[in-house]
Amino acid sequence: MFICSVNLFLYYVDFGLVDSQTIASSLIKNLIDIIVVWTSCLESLLAALKNRTKLLLVLQVKTLWKCTFEVLVSKNGFRNFCDEEDEFQWLLKAEVHGVLRQLNVILEETGRRFNIPGTGKDTLIKPETFVLSSTNGTDYVKGIVTLVGDMLCKADLTLRPHRNTNQLVKTYVRDDMPWRLQQVQDVGNHIYSAIEIINTKDVDYEFQSAEEVNKLMDEILSQLMRARQRFLNPLIPSLQELYHSRYTKSLTPPLPHESMVNFYILGTKLVLHTYYLHPLALPKAHNQKGLSSSESKSRLLDLGPIKYELFSQNTVECAVPWVEEVTACLAFAMQLCQELKDKVSVFACCWDEYR
């Protein structure tokens, strides 16, 4: 691309269209643009390699050359630095759409990990079996689960409610009533909402101001942040909610009242959280020392004449590679949005001062 620029400007010199100072300035600008684009893409490649994120690495290799040409080519053809077009206007016309295309590629590929009806996209969803283990090496809970998208289709669980006994409780997730991870579906919904926002601007749309670009980026960022938060901060139900959950009824044989389980994604890991209860000695619940009323309530299960109190809990977990890839892609997409916002804001300030 840089060699093409040199040949183009030499052609202009032959016909006396530009002077040597213009040539030097234009070539430097052209070279700087190439360096900036490659630096940005290579930084993303290094981040993907560091995180061992295969999907993000493939996407970056795929778009590296494409991004170079998108920065240097506008919808009117090769970017001519010899004309008087303002740099900021070029940014609004060309580079914003380049970032939107890159975001669209990343999010559409990421969205294939989710089951969203009506998208018309081939999914990458497949059954994956994981062994759940404790981080501290204890064996109070054991589990083997099969995850298909947002559904736990199979689960073989073994619990030891009382640490000082050999009593074991075994249960399974019924095939006809899988345990659904709603947070996974929510992440997919937010990703496709972001794609829909991007698609509201076709390739010929002309942005008029930095405020318009920033507003669009804020809308996309909002959806991406919500998607990431669903993985980072799962909604943990209360004991009362968990007991009455329809997914608890998918376990066979049913667990005794003294034992309860819950599945969720935390960060990039699938977590099985087990709760062990015992009946309260007194008929009416009382606050424990040092606990607020809300904290005390969250530790109680009220079944009418009998009330249970939480006395022990354990977690086992396993890493889910595709969740890690999705999280990394969301972080990279958010970074693209923020970098574009920063660049547009800086150019806008300079343009306002120039005017």
Convert the pLDDT of each residue in 172-223 to its tens digit: 998 888 999 999 999 999 999 999 999 998 888 888 888 899 999 999 999 9
pLDDT in tens, 5-39: 444 444 444 444 445 555 455 555 555 555 555 55
Query: For residue 203, what pLDDT is reported?
Result: 84
Query: Residue 69: what pLDDT?
Result: 47
142 φ, ψ (degrees, to nearest 5): -135, 145
The pLDDT of 119-141, averaged and rounded, is: 84
pTM (2 d.p.): 0.73
Nearest to 144 by CA among 35, 22, 270: 270
287-346 pLDDT, tens digit per residue, is: 455 444 455 567 888 888 888 888 888 899 999 999 999 999 999 999 999 999 888 887
